[in-house]
Amino acid sequence: MSNTQKREKDEAEAPSSSSTSSKGLQTITLKLDSAKANKTFERYGHIVTPILAKNLSPAAAEVDQTVDAGFKVWTTNGEYQTILPIGTVFFPHEEVHMHLNHILSEKRILQELKLEEKEVKVDSYDRRYGFIKYWKFMTGRKYEIKNSAQKGDVVGWGVVVRNGIGTGTALGADIYTDRVVCGNGSVARGKDFGFALKHVGNFKQMAEDFENGLRVVFQKAEELMQLYEDMCEVRATQKSIEKLYDSTGIADKVWEKIPFIAIDEKAKQTHDRIKLHEKAKQQVSLFDVFNSLTNPLTRNFETTHSFSRLYDNTVSLHRQMDIIVHESKGVGRRLV
């Protein structure tokens, strides 16, 4: 199955973005303990209320007893949103935005990011109907990739913040890079370049850890630039192209746009399906491959505004590039 077929299959199985038909819908009644409702974020319309469930233990078999089993219902302006798992710390998107703005108002941070003379523009994107949200902003800092075959190849960088509510997506941040010459965007995710906070514990500690985590991320971009320098020094091979094709999930229509790659849609095996041109094997670097892929991915994002696909594809692309560089040069992994 090609990468395009895999993606189309996933999209076909995903919930439709259109309104759900009333056929087959069922209404159920939940007992809520409104006396213990969490109204911390009622100013945004959010209330989180414990669900009272029937006691299923054998000892209570003869008694019609309801207990707080730890599950909670999240409502916004009185409308049901979802059920939150046991132990979930509710961290609404509005609070993430507020804490991000707080960090970006600190004079020291603005100076460090070379943003003190301009207004910070923060773009936001929804995923899964708004249950997951991304915030992206660029800093004023730029780096020249000295090993690039293109003279004056400059990369700017920024940060992508993410948060999910009841989705399994952690609150955290990753580095976003933007190649100045073509505007290619990409996201790098790894423990050394970002952070992820599970929605457990307590809100106050999560908020503090979030702000501290952001301050650390701002200092990590130079290490990612070194990965790019190393990618310039490693030549692309048929084996590395096959690895990228199999592991990144990037669609065939993206690979087809690369002039030094040939795609045979009828072939079933990867080594027959994708081919690196012979003349390119000693001339094309991993950094060339990286930019050849991120260009159509970025153009697609600009057209469809599907940031989630750009995020997923480029996070995976960075990770696989890191593995190939590690195997080729023997340098330590950066994106584990």
- Give tens-digit pLDDT for 152-203: 999 999 999 999 999 999 999 999 999 999 999 999 998 778 899 999 999 9
Average confidence (pLDDT) over 237-248: 96
Last residue of a domain, one of 166, 189, 221: 221
- Indicate the pairing of strand 132-144 with strand 154-164: antiparallel
- Is there a single domain that holds both residue 43 and residue 145? no
- What's the number of domains the chain is made of? 3
pLDDT for 58? 76
Q: Is residue 100 located within the same domain as residue 200?
A: yes
Q: Which residues of 287-320 are buried (b: 16+ CB within 10 A; e: fewer)?
A: bbbbbbbbbbbbebbeeeeebebbbbbbbbbbbb
Shared-domain flag, residues 246 and 209: no
Over residues 129-135, mean pLDDT: 97
Residue 330's pLDDT is what? 85
pLDDT at position 12: 42
Question: Based on the domain organization, do 235 and 325 belong to the same domain?
Answer: yes
Res. 228: pLDDT tops 70: yes
Q: Say how far apart CA 196 and CA 170 lie, in whole Å.
A: 5
Any domain includes 9: no
Looking at the fold, whether 292 and 324 belong to one and the same domain comes out as yes
Q: Per the domain annotation, does 5 fall within a domain?
A: no
Residues 6+ apart with CB under 8 A from 19: none
Looking at the structure, tell me whether residues 237 and 314 fall in a common domain: yes
* pLDDT, tens digit (0-9, with 9 covering 90-100), for 69-95: 899 999 999 999 999 999 999 999 999
Average confidence score pLDDT of the chain: 90
Kindly state whether residues 246 and 214 are assigned to the same domain.
no
**Residue 321 φ then ψ, to 5°:** -60, -40
Q: Note the pTM of the prediction, 2 decimals.
A: 0.88
Residues 160 and 246 in one domain: no
To the nearest 10°, report the CA torsion of 103, 193, 10, 170: -50
Q: Which of 61-70, 194-203, 213-222, 246-255 has the lowest mean pLDDT?
A: 61-70
Same domain, 279 and 179: no
Domain boundary (195, 221, 247) is at 221
Residues 207 and 141 in one domain: yes
Is residue 151 a part of any domain in this protein? yes
Residue 113 and residue 58 in one domain: no
Whether residue 168 is contained in a domain is answered as yes
Q: Are 295 and 185 within one domain? A: no
Res. 229 pLDDT band, cuts 50 70 90: very high
Domain that holds residue 120: 93-221
